[in-house]
């Protein structure tokens, strides 16, 4: 089979696309024939050995794929050959076939296209868990989303609206902000030009947002936190901007505000029943047409390295996927 292989750590240009043996599922595992694989920010880090999980070389990147189960190992229950599914494996998905443990398999509705499914579970799953369980976002509250046109950011905008919030979207270009408007953002901030803290204050009448969703970190976190409202919840989602920022601890004190960590992958392991209920709710909303997953670009598997480069260069909006 064809696979994108990381033979030495480094930028995407060091990846090679080559033929490797097709893997066989072991006990408790399934094999998925990959139709589409989602590109996620951790893929940009894992190939550079900068991610918390460090698979031994050589390895195939790609944490999320959709397709059809084509082989099942011993002892697997509840899924069968021919089932359509998404698998969340951490790596191995930028290939024609991938092996997944049974627990990493999420069945998908027959009507969900593979390229949509390949980018759905992690992005929507993260934002839904963040807004629902971690922030307890309430109808009528104000939600500020940073990096709002990105993979997880755009889903936070969309889910914020579904959950009845007023949404302020912040991103780096007017094109990205136009996309967030299309997904329901009530107000926008271009944080390349604007004074972020002043703009947030202006758009909230001085009160500040109730919830801030931050997948970017870096230089945006402190001015954003300084603008948060009383009883605010600041969701720490990721650090796509590069630096992990520090915050003076007097700030949460004077705002009566909370810093709230979000780690969706660990949540799915620690609270599987809540995770399943979340997924059921998201798939119900999708089935009812309340969510419109945005796949902005598709690359063939052979151009997997270019897809990762596209994301690293901040060109991606919504989801980027590799297609078989
Ligand atoms: N905590 C969790 O459970 C969890 C789950 C999924 C993802 N994440 C994290 O969330 C973050 C975003 O993931 P994603 O898949 O949404 O990525 P993405 O699609 O690339 O979006 C990231 C956004 O960050 C902004 N950004 C600012 N500086 C950047 C830089 N130097 N390089 C790249 N982007 C930059 C970009 O928006 P602008 O150009 O508008 O600034 C971009 O749209 C990552 O750190 C990821 O690891 C965390």
Question: What's the 278 CA to ligand 1 centre distance in angstroms?
Answer: 22
CATH of the domain at 259: 3.40.50.720
Tell me, what's the pLDDT at 112? 95
Q: Which of 216, 223, 262 to mutate to test the pocket of ligand 1 (most atoms within 8 A of CB)?
A: 216
Q: Which two tokens stand for residue 273?
A: 């029943």
**Long-range contact pairs involving 287-291 (C-beta distance under 8 Å, separation at least 24):** 287/109, 287/111, 290/162, 291/124, 291/155, 291/158, 291/159, 291/162
In a domain, 209, yes or no: yes
Task: Give whole-number Cα distances, 65 to 21, 130, 169, in Å.
Answer: 19, 22, 28
Task: Supply the pTM of this predicted model.
Answer: 0.96
**105 & 193 share domain:** no
Greatest alpha-carbon span in the chain: 61
Last residue of a domain, one of 218, 248, 265: 265
Average pLDDT over residues 167-194: 97
Same domain, yes or no, for 78 and 191?
A: no
Indicate the Cα dihedral angle 147, 152, 157, 160, nearest 10°: -130
Q: Quick one: which of 292, 298, 310 has its CA closest to 154?
A: 292
Ligand 1 binding pocket mutation candidate from 47, 149, 150 (most atoms within 8 A of CB): 150
Query: For the segment 218-229, what is each residue's pLDDT rounded down to a tens digit?
Result: 999 999 999 999
Separation between Cα atoms, residue 33 and residue 42, nearest integer Å:
22
Are 75 and 103 in a shared domain? yes
Q: Is the CB of 63 under 6 A from ligand 1?
A: no
Is 32 part of a structural domain of the chain? yes
**316, part of any domain:** yes
Q: Helices (DSSP H) in 141-249: which residue ranges? A: 151-162, 174-182, 196-203, 221-226
Cβ of 190 closer than 6 Å to ligand 1, yes or no, is: no
Give me the CATH number covering residue 70.
Answer: 3.90.180.10
Nearest C-alpha to atom 5 of ligand 1 is from which residue?
126
Q: Which domain holds residue 300?
A: 2-120+294-323
Average pLDDT over residues 109-129: 95
Rg (CA), the chain: 20
Question: How many separate domains does the chain show?
Answer: 2
142 and 107 both lie in a single domain: no
- The response to whether residue 119 sits with its C-beta less than 6 Å from ligand 1 reads no
Question: Could you tell me if residue 156 is inside a domain?
Answer: yes
Answer yes or no: is 287 within a domain: no
Percent share of the chain, pLDDT over 90: 97
Find out whether the beta carbon of 126 lies less than 6 Å from any atom of ligand 1: yes
Q: What is the pLDDT of residue 13?
A: 98
Give the pairing of strands 64-72 and 319-323: unpaired
Q: How do beta strands 142-146 and 166-171 pair? A: parallel
Residues 138 and 116 in one domain: no
Residue 86 shares a structural domain with residue 174:
no
Q: Tell which wins on pLDDT, 324 or 172.
A: 172
Find out whether the beta carbon of 283 lies less than 6 Å from any atom of ligand 1. Answer: no
Q: Are residues 230 and 302 in the same domain?
A: no
Instruction: Give a yes or no: residue 100 inside a domain.
Output: yes
Asked whether residue 99 falls in the same domain as residue 24, the answer is yes
Q: Contact at 8 Å (CB) between 180 and 148?
A: yes
Q: Residue 122: CB within 6 Å of ligand 1?
A: yes
pLDDT, mean of residues 97-117:
94
Atom of ligand 1 nearest to the CA of 267: 3
Say how many Å lie between the CA of residue 153 and the centre of ligand 1.
Answer: 8
Same domain, 99 and 134: no
Provide the pairing of β-strand 319-323 with 295-300: parallel
Last residue of a domain, one of 265, 286, 315: 265
Residue pLDDT, tens place only, 253-310 = 999 999 999 999 999 999 999 999 999 999 999 999 999 999 999 999 999 999 999 9
Per-residue pLDDT at 110 exceeds 90: no
Preceding omega of 6 cis (within 30 degrees of 0): no
């Amino acid at each position: 089979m064809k696979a994108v292989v990381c033979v030495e750590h480094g930028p995407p240009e060091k990846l090679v696309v080559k033929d490797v043996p097709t893997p066989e599922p072991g006990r408790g595992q399934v094999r998925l024939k990959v139709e589409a694989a989602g590109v996620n920010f951790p893929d940009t880090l894992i190939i550079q050995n900068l991610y918390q999980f460090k698979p031994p070389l050589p390895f195939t990147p790609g944490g999320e794929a959709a397709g059809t189960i084509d082989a099942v190992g011993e002892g697997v229950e509840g899924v069968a050959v021919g089932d359509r599914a998404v698998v969340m494996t951490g790596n191995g998905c930028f290939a024609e076939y991938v092996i997944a443990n049974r627990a990493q398999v999420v069945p998908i509705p027959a009507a969900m296209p593979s390229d949509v499914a390949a980018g759905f579970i992690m992005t929507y799953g993260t934002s839904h868990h963040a807004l629902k369980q971690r922030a307890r976002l309430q109808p009528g509250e104000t939600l500020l989303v940073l990096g709002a046109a990105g993979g997880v950011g755009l889903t936070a905008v969309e889910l914020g609206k579904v959950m009845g919030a007023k949404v302020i979207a912040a991103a780096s270009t007017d094109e990205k902000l136009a996309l967030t408007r299309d997904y329901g953002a009530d107000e926008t901030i271009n944080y390349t030009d604007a004074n972020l803290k002043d703009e947030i204050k202006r758009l909230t009448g001085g009160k500040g947002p109730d919830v801030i969703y931050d997948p970017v970190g870096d230089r945006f976190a402190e001015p954003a936190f300084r603008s948060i409202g009383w009883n605010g919840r600041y969701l720490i989602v990721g650090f796509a901007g590069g630096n992990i920022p520090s915050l003076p601890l007097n700030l949460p004190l004077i705002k009566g505000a909370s810093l709230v960590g979000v780690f969706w992958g660990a949540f799915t392991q620690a609270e599987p029943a809540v995770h399943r209920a979340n997924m059921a709710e998201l798939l119900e909303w999708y089935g009812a047409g309340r969510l419109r997953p945005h796949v902005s670009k598709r690359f063939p598997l052979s151009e997997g390295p270019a897809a990762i480069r596209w994301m690293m260069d901040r060109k991606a909006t919504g989801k980027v996927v590799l297609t078989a």
